[in-house]
Amino acid sequence: MIGGAFGAVVVAGCGGGGGGGSTTTSGTTTSGTTTSTTSTGTTSSHAVTPEGEIGPYFTDDSATGYNRNNILANLDGTDPQVGVPLTLKVYVYDSENNNAALAGAQVDIWHCNALGVYSNESSESTSGQTWLRGYQLTDTNGMVTFTTIIPGWYQGRTTHIHLRVRSKYSEASSTSDGSNTTQVFFSQTLLDSIYTNVAPYNTKGTDTTTNASDRVYTSQTHGENELVLTGDNTNGYAATFAIYLPITSE
């Protein structure tokens, strides 16, 4: 399984609509790096960020039905969640193998809905619901694509999406199987715009915990995992997140 630090580089997104109100936001990279030599003899460095905590709302999504691109609804297609559309592409690369794309890695994703509620949580009265949860296996380019929405927020946390990468698919996998988990974030300016102007987000208003005051954003990922987004509040957004992991050295 994958072990060690969670390496990530944020890459500009594509598509997502244009016109007035379009937004492009980017994160920064400040921590250490891993290096590898490419086939041309040059050395490529990629930022290595700490793992972001898995949090209390993870459900092991290894059941066959969770393997899906569109995570908006329950597995049976009911109760699709509404919000600002988000297309998120995730690439997984092996930083110890000339940054080769990693095929067959399992990428899990989960996050709350527009009102800050997670599915399959008794405390949220959503037991048995499966929306906004899923996984995919990376293709030969190391890529997966998820169709979802911009999440809402809940007390004590800034807006985020959970990602977990496992180098080998396993129905018996657990939260302590040596996998890598992180969280990705959004521009505070963008979030304030959505939460003020777009239904149903605006029924709650702006987040009471900003990126700057969030413990995971500041202390665990150090602000490095802020997505680059293109698009607008009406047509939705697109982003690409590239993950570099020292897989072959583990």
- Please report where in the chains the tokens 């987000």 appear, as a residue: 201
Q: What residues make up the domain containing 40?
A: 6-245
Number of domains the chain is built from:
1
Sign of the dihedral defined by the CA atoms of residues 16, 202, 189, 79, in that order: negative
Mean pLDDT by 10 residues, the chain (250 residues): 42 34 40 40 46 73 81 97 98 82 90 97 92 95 98 97 76 49 93 98 97 93 89 98 70
Q: For residue 38, is it within any domain?
A: yes
pLDDT at residue 2, as a whole number: 47
Q: For residue 91, is it within any domain?
A: yes
Q: For residue 1, is it within any domain?
A: no
Sign of the dihedral defined by the CA atoms of residues 204, 205, 208, 209, in that order: positive
Is residue 15 within 8 A of residue 237, CB to CB? The reply is no
pLDDT at residue 53, as a whole number: 74
**Length of the chain measured in residues:** 250
Q: Tell me the Cα Rg of the chain.
A: 17
**In CATH, what number is assigned to the domain containing residue 64?**
2.60.130.10
pLDDT at residue 222, as a whole number: 81
Answer whether 0.75 is exceeded by the pTM: yes
Q: For residue 250, is it within any domain?
A: no
Q: For residue 46, is it within any domain?
A: yes
pLDDT at residue 80, as a whole number: 98
What DSSP line would sit under 133-181, residue for residue? Answer: EEEEE--TTSEEEEEEE-----TT--S-EEEEEESS--TT--TTSS-EE
pLDDT at residue 57, as a whole number: 74
User: Torsions phi, psi of 40, nearest 5?
Assistant: -90, 0
- Please report where in the chains the tokens 């047509």 appear, as a residue: 235
Q: For residue 210, is it within any domain?
A: yes
- The amino acid at residue 32 is G
